[in-house]
Every structure is written in C-alpha cells, then in structure tokens.
Structure 1
Amino acid sequence: MSPSASSRARPRKSFVCGGCGAEFGTWYGRCPKCAEFGTLAEAAPAATAAVGLRASGAGTTPARPARRLTDISEAEVGPRVGTGLAEFDRVLGGGLVTGQVLLLSGEPGAGKSTLLLTTADAVARATGRPVLYVSGEESVHQIATRARRIGATHEQVYLADGNDLAQAIGHLDALGPDVALMILDSVQTVASADVEGRAGGVAQVMEVASTLTRLAKARGIAVCLVGQVTKESTVAGPRALEHVVDTTLSLDGDRQTPLRLLRAVKNRFGPADEVACFEQTDAGMVEVPDPSSLFRGVRDEPVAGTCITVTVEGRRPLLAEMQALVSPSGTPNPRRGVSGLDSARVAMLIAVTERIAGLRLADKDVYAATVGGMRSSDPASDLAICLAIASAATGKPLPLDVAAIGEVSLSGDIRRVTMAGQRIAEAARLGHGRILVPAGTREAVRDLRLGAVPAHVVEVSTIHQALTALDASPRPRPVRQPDDH
C-alpha cells in the first residue's frame, strides 16, 4: 500500500470544545472561539466502514422496511401520558409521548432535581407504573431525604446512583418493560465504557445521550436527561446534544425569588414557546396556575410612577407592573438604574419620554424596575414604562384600572404588538376597565367583554395621545365606562 493510500485510510484527529462545541484540527490549551481554558478534548474517530459502501454503491437490507405515511395509524404512536402536573403537561403539549427524550437544563440551584422528583412522584401516582431516578451526583440516601421533605414518597419511584451507563441500563432492565419514565441526573456525570474520555467530555456526552435515545425509541420509555449549563446559561457540551433529544426544556428563575419558569425551547411534539410557572417552596415545586398576581402590586390608592402592562411569556399573557422613580440628582452625571428590564431600551424610552412629554430629566436620577423579580424584554411594555416615567416625573398617579400595551418607537409612535387579543383579555379578566392600545387594535378585539369590568379599549397613536387621554380621565378610577369610545 502506498504512503498516500495509508494516509487516506487513517482517520484524521479532531478536537472539540466542551464549552461551545467548536471543532479544530489541532489541540489548544485555550479554545480560540469561546476563550475557555482546558475545554478541548479529542473527538471519537468517525466510522470508516461506510467508505466501501459509498464506493461500491451497495447497501444493506434494513431490519424494518420503509412504510407509507398513510399506513401508520395514530394508535401505533400511542396516547400521551399525563405527568400529573398540569403546568408540566402544558409545556410538553399535553403530556409525555411514548419514547420521548427530554433535556432539562438550568443554573445550579434553580430546582431541577426538586422539579424532577416532584414529576417522578406525580407520574408514578398518575400511571401506577415504575419511575426510575438515576443520579450521578448524589447518593440514594441524599435523594431520599429530599424526596421525603417534599412529599415525593410514592412506592413506584425507584432511586439509584452511579456513574456507569451500563449500570443505569441494568437498573432499567431489572424493573421490566413497564417503566413509565427514566430520569438521569445528569448526563454530564455518566460515562460509557465503550468510549474513551472523561465523563462530561464531548464523546461521552454524545454516547450516553445517543444510547439512551435509541433505548427510549426501541422500548417506548420516556427518558428525561438533566443537562448542566455553562456561564453563558447554555447547555454544557456539544450543541448536537440538543439535536439528539426530542424536547429541550429550560428552568429559569431569580435566586432571590421563589418563582421558576419552565420554558420549552424545542419540542417535536408540541409548541416550542410554551411556559409553565412554579414556585419553589419547602414542600417542593408548587404549580402556579395564575402567576399574574405575583408580578403586580396590590394597593387601594394609586401611586405615582407605576403602570400596569401585559407581557407574554411563551404563549401565556402575564400582568406586570412597571415602576419608575425620578428624583433630583446631586451629581454631575445623573444615575440611570434598571432592575428586571433591558438597560439600553430603558435609556431610549427615557429619552423619548423626555422629548415627547416635554419633561426635563437630564438633571435627574431615573430608576425603572419590575415587581416580584420579573424579567421582561417584551417590547409591549414600552408604553407602560414611558407612562410610569412621566407619572413619576410629574407626581401624578395613573388610575388603578388603567393598563397600557404597546411598543414605542424613537419618534414617539406606538406600534402594534403580537397577541393583542390575549393581552387585552387578561387585563380585562383581572379588572382593568381602561386599556391603552396601539391604533388599529380594536378591530381585532371587537365586542370584548371579559373580567369584572367591561373592557374599554382606548386606541392611541403616540405617547402624547396616551398622556392626553389619561389627563382627561376622571380620578379615582371609574366603576364602569361606556363601550363606544
């Protein structure tokens, strides 16, 4: 064999970064892409058995021949299995699908293990079938202590620990084919003896995920993998890990508040933008079916510098209170403080409000924040932020029954937003009788009558029109408003 042929037959080495997934031909101590140290590891060599097949054009007889799409009935897929948690089922699109593989990620301390223990207990109670929880980070005694604390004590929940993939599959085999759900916490702590490399490396993570995915599809068992996250709040390991699984979930939340939001980032069997709300308590994860009350203040009298808006998390409308404080500055450079909002966008809204409303804010400290630790990047809250700033600067409180929805441009115009009907319906359901919306929105929500007070939709085109409409409104809040505006 010639030297050239020998070099072609030898697979080329490649190194993959465990932080960002970038691939390089040589090893570096520091990844050139993400600048992280010690994250490059040698990738498993690609299989070369298919080279001869490509050259000859030959193939192998498949174990199962291809079938017509019309010949596959829905009964073969099987019905969804409810988890026993309405909020979790909401994110999944109605429950677990047979053979579905989920990837749950979240920052340390977000409550991933607590949520999955609660889910394991709920699935066991709802189905009466075994649920296997395998941990590579804690012992069974530690898991059992937490399970008893949160009340997840169903007899069909089985706990196991270990870092070997073969042992985890052995636990699954021992429980028989009737297992409803398998949870692996976490995929970065388990390794396979068939692949070289440390646990958590690119090759090991992909081998563990691929093996469990094939197992889930072959046996019809739902599998949930827990994924660690990097400093950038992305799933650690190769990005291909997210492509292997069917559903990718993210558990977010501020450590200073008990609220946790479970988001569906990817979902092959349901909506990919759904959000579920949980509250982390001493008794575990508790569902929050109506989270709007957590993000708004409760008061009997209006206060200057506050305005209610309706944001959308996934496909769920949530009421949120935008607050602003304007005070004289004692420094040459006034401060601009932001909490729960995008600082660059708030700075723009301060400038727009100052110009359109004719206010002098250049020599004043301006602070803007949300209530309840909520983080909002929804442009529909722009109008509420501008009105809160104007209210704080003038000392005039807005009526309690007013809600403002709309995106604000640099010219001071108010633009229409998505899901306007759902936003208005949520505001009306919670008793807000006057809702400021962009021009042209009323046609989409004609004859809307929801909530304790009939919804009175007021269309405004600019911030100036919104301020004028509020100045002309009576105070305190009216109990009822006519429908034709």
Structure 2
Amino acid sequence: MAKTRTSYLCRDCGGVQAKWIGRCPDCAAWDTLEAFTESPAASTASVGMVAGIAISGAGPGDGNAGVLTKAVPLVEIDQLEVPRIPTGIEEFDRVLGGGVVPGSVALLGGEPGIGKSTLLMQAAARVVAEGRTVLYVSSEESPQQIRLRGDRLLGAAVADLGNLYLCTETNLVRIVEEIRRVKPDLVLLDSIQMVYRGDLDAPPGSTTQLRRCCHDLVQLAKIAGAAVVVVGHVTKEGSLAGPKLLEHVVDAVLAFEGDREHGHRVLRATKNRFGSTQEIGLFEMGGTGLQQLDEGGIAIDTTGPGLPGSVLTATMAGTRCLPVEIQALTSTGFLGSAKRRGTGIDANRLAMLIAVLEKHGGQRLADQDIFAAVAGGIRVTEPAADLALALAIAGAHHGRALRPGTVVLGEVGLTGEIRSVRGIDQRLRELARRGAVAAVIPRSQADLAKDLGLEIHAIAGIGAGLATLE
C-alpha cells in the first residue's frame, strides 16, 4: 500500500512547505499553513481519474481532448476567435466580458443569502432559452428545493426548460460522469466546498479536497469544452474560503457583494483572463429574483434645498460612470477618544482627510465623532471622491451645504492641494446629462470642463473648496 505524504499548504499564496511553521516563507503571512495529505499515486499520475472519465467519453480525434505536447513558436499558433456563451443577463455578461468562454472555469463568491444561487438559476434559464444545454449541480440543496426556487423565479416558464438538467450530488466522479452523459454547454456547480473525491482521506471542504477537486474541474473543462461556473463560500473577513490556489487555477474570479439589508447588489471581477476587471454589474433583489439596474435613469435633483453633510460625486467602474452621494455626520465626542466610522469608504482614507481638514482647512475636529457613508450601499475606493468626502464632513460640522445640483470631483493630497482625477471629462459629461448644474473640480483640469453647460468652480487647495459651501 502506498504511503501518504503530508505537506503544509499556505491558504494565502498556495506555497507548499515540508513541515509546519508559524510564518509562510513565501508570502510572510502568519498562521496560514494547513495540513495537506495526498497519496504518491495521486500526485504522480499524469492523467487523473476525472480527466480519464472525460477522455473516455470523447470520440477519437476529438479536438477538445488534445493538448499541446511540444513547444512551438508563438507565431505558428493559429489565431482563434473563441465563441462566448451569453448568459442572457446583460450585467452578468458585462462583467464576464461578453459571456462565459467554453473550456473555462469561473469562481463566484459571496456571502450567504446574497443571491448567488438566484443569479445562476436565472442565467441557466436564459441560456436554455437560446437552445443550449445546462447542467445545474447542487451539492447543498434537494431537487425539490431547487424546483421551488425555479417556480418562484421563473413561474410558468419552468415548463419550457427541457434542456436544463439537475443533479444533486457531492461525489466528483459521479458529477463528471453526468457531465459526460449530458454533454452540457454550461455547468453550474453550487458549491465547491461540499464536493469531494472518495479516494482522498479528507473531509469535504478541507484544503486537500478543495485543491484536488478544483484542479480536476479545470482539467475537465478544458478536455470536455464546457464552460463551468463554480460557487465558493466566503470567510467572515469577506475572502473566498479555502486555499488561495483556487483563485490561481481558475480563469475568472467573481465577487457578488451587497448589504442584505438593502436590495442593491454589485457583481465585480477580481480576475478575468478573457476580459476587463474594471467592469461591474448592478442588480436589485426583488420578490421575483434579481433585476438589472439601469444607472442611466438616475437623475440629479436640483430643486430641493442643499443638505449639510451631503455631497454628490461620480465614480468610474470600467466604462461606466456612477453618480453617488456621500453623506457625513459630526457630533460632539470626547477629546482623545473621538470615533471615526465609515461605511463604503476606506477607513484609512477617512482618517487622512480628517487630518488634512484640521491641518490645512482650519477645522477643529479632534473632539468630534465623525461618521461617513456612501448612500445606497455602494463602496467607493478611488481617490476622486476625496474632495467630496472632505466637503461633506466640513459641511456637516458647520451646518453649511453646497448649492443644489453641484457635483464635486478631486483628489486631496497631504499638503492640502487638489489633484487631477482620471476621466474627468467623461464624468462631467455624464453628470451634466443627468441634471447637474455646477461642478467643483481641480484647477489643473479646468480646460477639460469647457462647453459642457456647467458652472465650473476650479480650485487649487482645500481652503478654496471649503469656500464653496454656502
């Protein structure tokens, strides 16, 4: 009987060590090594059990079963236009780069109850409606639960989904056998944490099982030519559960984010080998599932009075310009223990802007509790919103507001200067189309704001920005 070998795998970087040590020597992370047990036969096999099943189902001369066995010059490789499979959900396809690619594996992560299974069910129904075959594999729910979800989301349209196959299985070998039998164009697996291989002496969800099952699924997708979307759980810190290796071996990593107390959901790609990682998809959770949001219908109100602590700005997500409202609130606290809280804003950025306001803006905020948030549950990380956040804090502190319909763009430096931002002409053009009447922007980019129909206030420092508050 072959002996098993125990190694230690870093869940952050995927590095393998011969023995356990407190700090990973590859990424310098502490307490991230986990035991990984694998038999010599499994680690040295050139073609695994899962790949063998897939190859046995492929006919002789099947192009999907072949691999490049020798090195050839790059120029001798024929260019190939890979046909994508549109999911039928425009926001989903936008993030994927136009649809899923046959032979690829995408990993979709998100908190429990955020809507991952709902998104996959709606996408599966639309792919089937285009005449393709979909295999939905659930390792957590019973067939009756999935049928109830389908009836709730799709209604009478469920009767037309003859090419949507359902499999409730956790054994990877049986799942692969069903893929070989059904020959689907798209495979949806919910979720990878419950799938296991019977020849591994480890429980489902362990590092050993996740590593081998994910490797086998990637190999299967390339051999069978099917697109695979795998659902992964997240930890309490918000990162994908399991070793970091999962994110390295798949072709795309998607994050489904949002606050369960709000209806808005944001889908973004942190890795995408077939498209941009800058695009986002906007959804709203309703009684009949996820609905796509059209941000073009968001208008800027110029009729009501300006509110102290509320400032409008715009953030870029790929080719999309989203107007957002930043709100701030100040209240009397205790000197030396004042609170600084931010929702949808980087806490370190918030602390830096407060320091700039005190040093270069003449504001006394040391004894003030300061709370800042982005309305609607959206998260803003780019520095173009610095000036808007600073004016929101100062306006809330002094009870002063901007003129209604005014938008603010600019990065704030540590010396109090207002720096230029990326794509300001596109942002202002989009904001003007939605009803903005005035804009506070960096002086260095004043020439880019001409002929847009906006009243421009070009400023060079934080002091001039505070003077725009009425």
The CA deviation string for residues 34-69 of structure 1, in whole angstroms up to 9 with x for no partner, is 5479x533245485589xxxxxxxxxx987665665
Show the counterpart of 2:240: 235
1:259 to 232, 247, 264: 264
Q: Specify which structure has the bigger relative contact order, considering alpha-carbon pairs within 8 angstroms and separated by 6 or more residues.
A: 2
Q: Give the CA deviation at 1:145.
A: 1.0
1:192 matches 2:197: yes
CA distance in structure 2 between the aligned counterparts of 1:249 and 1:298, rounded to whole angstroms? 37
The total of aligned residue pairs comes to 442
Q: Is the 8 A contact 2:4 2:38 kept in 1?
A: no
- Residue 359 of structure 1, aligned match among 334, 358, 363: 363
Deviation (angstroms), 1:458: 3.1
CA distance in 1, matches of 2:216, 2:361: 62
Match of 1:278 among 279, 283, 301: 283
Alignment match of 2:165 (pick from 158, 167, 175) = 158
Residue of structure 1 in register with 2:444 after alignment: 440
Deviation of the 1:201 alpha carbon: 2.5
Question: Which segment is superposed worse, 41-50 or 203-212?
Answer: 41-50
Partners in 2 of 1:310 and 1:355 — Cα distance? Answer: 26
What is the aligned-residue identity percentage? 40
Say yes or no: does 1:461 pair with 2:460.
Answer: yes
- For residue 289 of structure 1, the aligned residue among 272, 276, 294 is 294
Structure 1 residue 433: deviation in Å? 2.3
Give 2:149's aligned residue.
146
Partner of residue 111 from structure 1, selected from 86, 90, 115? 115
Change in Cα spacing, 1:63 to 1:362, as seen in structure 2 (3 Å) is closer
Counterpart CA distance in 2 for 1:62 and 1:390 is 62
Rounded Cα–Cα distance in structure 2 between residues aligned with 1:341 and 1:291: 24
Whether the 8 Å CA contact 2:13–2:245 is kept in 1: the answer is no
Flag the structure with larger Rg. 1
Gaps of 5+ in 1: 1-8, 51-60, 472-485
Output the amino acid matched with 1:275: I
Displacement after TM superposition at 1:364 (Å): 3.7
Find the aligned partners of 1:236 and 1:44 in 2 and give their Cα distance.
24
For 2:268, what is the secondary structure of its paired residue?
Answer: strand
| Structure 1 residue 348 displacement after superposition | 2.6
Give how far 1:373 is off. Answer: 2.2
CA shift in 2, pair 1:397/1:222, >3 Å: same
Q: 2:134 aligned to 126, 131, 134, which one?
A: 131
**Correspondence for 1:250 among 248, 255, 268:** 255
Moved more, 364-373 or 396-405: 364-373
| 1:305 aligned onto 2:304 | no
The aligned counterpart of 2:207 is 202
Cα drift, residue 327 of structure 1: 3.8
The Cα offsets for residues 104-145 of structure 1, whole Å up to 9 and x where unpaired, read as: 1112222111111111112112x2111110011111111111
Q: Take 1:33 and 1:68, find their aligned partners in 2: how far apart are those partners? A: 39
Kept in 2, the 8 Å contact 1:337–1:366? The answer is: yes
Task: After TM superposition, give the deviation of residue 427 of structure 1 in Å.
Answer: 1.8
Match of 1:175 in 2: 182
What's the counterpart of residue 412 of structure 1?
416
**Match of 2:219, SS?**
helix
Task: Name which of 263, 273, 285 aligns with 1:268.
Answer: 273
CA contact (8 A) 1:19 1:230 kept: no
Contact 1:357 1:390 in 2 (8 A): no
Structure 1 contact 297–321 (Cα < 8 Å) conserved: no
Alignment of 1:393-412 (within 5 A): 393-412=397-416
Alignment of 1:15-94 (within 5 A): 15-16=8-9, 21=14, 23-26=16-19, 34-35=30-31, 39-45=34-40, 47=43, 69-70=74-75, 72-74=77-79, 76-94=80-98
Q: Distance in 2 between matches of 1:303 and 1:84?
A: 41
Q: How many Å separate the matches in 2 of 1:255 and 1:298?
A: 31
Report Cα offsets for 1:239-262 as digits up to 9, x if no partner.
222222111111111222121111
Q: Distance in 2 between matches of 1:27 and 1:336?
A: 39
Confirm or deny: 8 A CA contact 1:87 1:289 kept in the other structure: no
Matching residue of 2:216? 211
Q: Which SS does the other structure have where 1:459 is aligned? A: strand
> Structure 1 73/49 Cα, relative in aligned 2: closer, same or farther at 3 Å?
closer
- Aligned to 1:372, the other structure's residue is in SS state helix
Residues 329, 396 of structure 2: 8 Å contact kept: yes
RMSD over aligned CA atoms reads 3.3
Q: Deviations over 1:4-23 (max 9, x none)?
A: xxxxx999641335577453
Between the aligned partners of 2:382 and 2:292, the Cα distance in structure 1 is 24
- The answer to whether 1:377 aligns with 2:374 is no
The unaligned stretches of length 5 or more in structure 2 are: 47-65
In the superposition, the TM-score normalised over structure 1's length comes to: 0.81
Counterpart residue number, 1:319: 323
Counterpart secondary structure, 1:437:
strand
Give the TM-score of the pair, scaled to structure 2: 0.83
Match in the other structure for 1:480: none
- CA distance change for structure 1 residues 311 and 44 in 2, over 3 Å: closer, same or farther? farther
- SS of 1:137's partner is coil
Partners of 1:193 and 1:120 in 2: CA distance:
29
Deviation of 1:356 after TM superposition, in Å, equals 3.4
Quote how far apart the aligned CAs of 1:269 are. Answer: 0.8
Find out whether 1:98 has 2:102 as its counterpart: yes
Matched letter for residue 262 of structure 1: L
Q: Distance in 1 between matches of 2:340 and 2:310?
A: 17
Q: CA deviation at 1:468?
A: 3.3
Question: Aligned pair in 2 of structure 1 residues 210, 339: CA closer, same or farther (>3 Å)?
Answer: closer
Moved more, 308-317 or 401-410: 308-317
d(CA) in 1 for partners of 2:347, 2:68: 58
Go from structure 1 to structure 2 and tell me whether the alpha carbon gap of 1:282 and 1:272 turns closer, same or farther (over 3 Å shift).
same
Amino acid at match of 2:371: Y
SS class of match (2:193) = helix
Listed one character per residue, the Cα deviations across residues 237-296 of structure 1 (whole Å, up to 9, x for unaligned) are 2222222211111111122212111111111111122211111222111111318849x8
2:102 & 2:369 partners in 1: Cα distance? 56
Q: CA deviation at 1:297?
A: 8.0
> Partner amino acid for 2:110?
G
AA of the residue aligned to 1:171: E
Q: Is the 8 A contact 1:264 1:272 kept in 2?
A: yes
Contact 1:383 / 1:408 at 8 angstroms: preserved in 2?
yes
SS at match of 2:229: strand
Contact 1:17 1:202 in 2 (8 A): no
